[in-house]
Structure 1
Amino acid sequence: MTVDIEMDNVSPESSFLSEKKINLDTSNNKSCTNATMSVQTRETWSNKAQSFCTVLGAIIGMGNLWRFPYICYKYGGGAFLLPYIFCVAFIGFPLFFLETALGQFTKQGAIGAWNIAPLMRGVGIGSAVLVTYSCIYFIIIIAWGFFYLFHSFTIGDLPFTTCDNWWNTDKCRPYSFKFDTNNTDYAIISNRTFTSDTSLNNTDFGYYEAVSEENRTLPISEFWDRYVLRKSDSLEDYGTLDNWMMVICLAVAWITCYLCIIKGIKSAGRVAMFTATFPYVLLLVIMIRGCTLPGAIDGIYYYLKPNMTKLAEPLVWVQAGSQVCYSYAIGFAALITMGSFNEFHKDCYRHCILLVGSCAGTSFITGFAVFSILGNLAFVTNKNVSDVVESGPGLVFQTFPTALSLLPLPHLWNALFFFMLIIIGLDSQFACVECIIVLITDHWPAFFTRKNAKELLRTFICGTMMIIGLIFLPAGGIYVFELFNNYAVSGIAVLWIAMMESIAIAYFYGIDNFYKNIEQMIGFKPSPFIKICWMVITPLLTGGIMVFYIFQYEPLTIKGYKYPPWADAIGWIMCMSSFLCVPAVFIYTLCQKKGSLKERWVEASQPRLGSHIDVEKKMDNDSEEGLMYS
Structure 2
Amino acid sequence: MDNSCESNVPSVIHLCTGNELALNHLSSSYENSDKQKFIVDCHVNDDTSKMKSETSDLPTRSGKLNVDNDDYREEWNNQCDFFLSVLGYAVDLANVWRFPYVCFTNGGGAFLIPYFIVMVCSATPMFYLELILGQKHRRGAISLWDICPMFRGVGIAQVIISYIVAFYYNTISAWSLYFLFVSITDILPWTYCDQRRGNSINCVNFTYLQNLSNTISNDENDLLQQKNYSLASIEYFERVVLKLQQSTGLGDLGPIRWQLVGCTIFIFSILFASMRNGVKTSGKVWANAAIQIFFSTGAGFGAHIAYATYNPRRYNCYRDCLITSLVNAFTSLFAGVTVFAYLGYLAHLTHTTVQTVTGEGKNDIQ
Range class of TM-score, shorter chain? 0.7 to 0.9
Q: Which moved more, 1:324-333 or 1:37-46?
A: 37-46
Matched with 2:274 is: 260
Matched with 2:339 is: 370
Shift of 1:252: 2.0
Instruction: Find the aligned partners of 1:382 and 1:3 in 2 and give their Cα distance.
Output: 87
Instruction: Find the aligned partners of 1:64 and 1:5 in 2 and give their Cα distance.
Output: 52
Instruction: Find the aligned partners of 2:325 and 2:158 in 1 and give their Cα distance.
Output: 20
Matched with 2:235 is: 222
Matched with 2:264 is: 250
Match for 1:112: what amino acid? Answer: S
For the Cα contact (< 8 Å) 1:5–1:22, is it kept in 2?
Answer: yes
After TM superposition, the structure 1 = structure 2 runs for residues 105-116 of structure 1, keeping only pairs within 5 Å, are: 105-116=136-147
Matched with 1:339 is: 308
Shift of 1:216: 1.9
Q: Say whether residues 1:238 and 2:253 are aligned partners.
A: yes
Query: Which has the higher Rg, Structure 1 or Structure 2?
Result: 2
Dislocated runs of 4+, deviation >6 Å: 1-7, 15-19, 21-24, 27-30, 32-35, 390-393
For the Cα contact (< 8 Å) 2:86–2:304, is it kept in 1?
Answer: yes
Shift of 1:154: 2.3
Instruction: Find the aligned partners of 1:173 and 1:226 in 2 and give their Cα distance.
Output: 14
Instruction: Find the aligned partners of 1:72 and 1:339 in 2 and give their Cα distance.
Output: 31
Shift of 1:168: 1.2
Q: What does the per-residue CA deviation read over 1:494-552, in whole Å, with 9 as the maximum and x for residues that have no partner?
A: xxxxxxxxxxxxxxxxxxxxxxxxxxxxxxxxxxxxxxxxxxxxxxxxxxxxxxxxxxx
Instruction: Find the aligned partners of 2:360 and 2:300 in 1 and give their Cα distance.
Output: 23
Instruction: Find the aligned partners of 1:167 and 1:35 in 2 and give their Cα distance.
Output: 59
Match for 1:373: what amino acid? Answer: Y
Task: Select the residue among 96, 101, 105 that pairs with 1:70.
Answer: 101
Match for 1:318: what amino acid? Answer: A
TM superposition score normalised by structure 2:
0.75
For the Cα contact (< 8 Å) 1:328–1:359, is it kept in 2?
Answer: yes
Matched with 1:161 is: 191
TM superposition score normalised by structure 1:
0.45
SS of equivalent to 2:67: helix
For the Cα contact (< 8 Å) 1:3–1:25, is it kept in 2?
Answer: no
Q: Please tell me the root mean square deviation across aligned C-alpha atoms, in Å.
A: 3.5
Q: Say whether residues 1:79 and 2:110 are aligned partners.
A: yes
Shift of 1:95: 1.2
For the Cα contact (< 8 Å) 1:84–1:324, is it kept in 2?
Answer: yes
Q: Flag the 1:252–1:42 CA change in 2: closer, same or farther, 3 A.
A: same
After TM superposition, the structure 1 = structure 2 runs for residues 123-522 of structure 1, keeping only pairs within 5 Å, are: 123-155=154-186, 157-164=187-194, 165-175=196-206, 176-177=208-209, 178=212, 180-182=216-218, 213-231=226-244, 232-241=247-256, 243-265=257-279, 310-311=280-281, 313-389=282-358, 394-396=363-365, 398=366
Instruction: Find the aligned partners of 1:105 and 1:379 in 2 and give their Cα distance.
Output: 55
SS of equivalent to 1:36: coil
The unaligned stretches of length 5 or more in structure 1 are: 8-14, 186-210, 266-309, 399-630
Q: What does the per-residue CA deviation read over 1:375-407, in whole Å, with 9 as the maximum and x for residues that have no partner?
A: 3323333333343347989334x2xxxxxxxxx
Shift of 1:259: 2.8
The unaligned stretches of length 5 or more in structure 2 are: 17-40, 55-64
SS of equivalent to 1:215: coil
Shift of 1:359: 1.5
Q: Flag the 1:214–1:110 CA change in 2: closer, same or farther, 3 A.
A: same
Q: Flag the 1:259–1:168 CA change in 2: closer, same or farther, 3 A.
A: same
Matched with 1:31 is: 52
Q: Specify which structure has the higher proportion of helix.
A: 1
Match for 2:342: what amino acid? Answer: I
For the Cα contact (< 8 Å) 1:67–1:391, is it kept in 2?
Answer: no
Q: What does the per-residue CA deviation read over 1:319-370, in whole Å, with 9 as the maximum and x for residues that have no partner?
A: 1111121112122121111111111111222332222222222212222222
Q: What does the per-residue CA deviation read over 1:225-272, in whole Å, with 9 as the maximum and x for residues that have no partner?
A: 11211122421222342x22222222222222223334332xxxxxxx
Q: Flag the 1:93–1:80 CA change in 2: closer, same or farther, 3 A.
A: same
Match for 1:215: what amino acid? Answer: N
Q: Flag the 1:35–1:109 CA change in 2: closer, same or farther, 3 A.
A: closer
For the Cα contact (< 8 Å) 2:134–2:140, is it kept in 1?
Answer: yes
Instruction: Find the aligned partners of 1:39 and 1:353 in 2 and give their Cα distance.
Output: 29
Higher relative contact order at CA 8 Å, sep ≥6: structure 1 or structure 2?
1
SS of equivalent to 1:335: helix
Aligned length: 317
For the Cα contact (< 8 Å) 1:66–1:392, is it kept in 2?
Answer: no
Q: What does the per-residue CA deviation read over 1:139-194, in whole Å, with 9 as the maximum and x for residues that have no partner?
A: 11111011111111123x32212112421122222221335235569xxxxxxxxx
Match for 2:191: what amino acid? Answer: T
Instruction: Find the aligned partners of 1:259 and 1:392 in 2 and give their Cα distance.
Output: 36
Shift of 1:49: 1.2
Instruction: Find the aligned partners of 1:375 and 1:361 in 2 and give their Cα distance.
Output: 21
Q: Flag the 1:91–1:218 CA change in 2: closer, same or farther, 3 A.
A: same
SS of equivalent to 2:52: helix
Shift of 1:123: 1.3
Instruction: Find the aligned partners of 2:360 and 2:311 in 1 and give their Cα distance.
Output: 36
For the Cα contact (< 8 Å) 1:68–1:367, is it kept in 2?
Answer: yes
Residue identity over aligned pairs, in percent, reads: 33
Q: What does the per-residue CA deviation read over 1:202-236, in whole Å, with 9 as the maximum and x for residues that have no partner?
A: xxxxxxxxx99532222222211112111224212
Shift of 1:6: 9.0
Shift of 1:117: 0.7
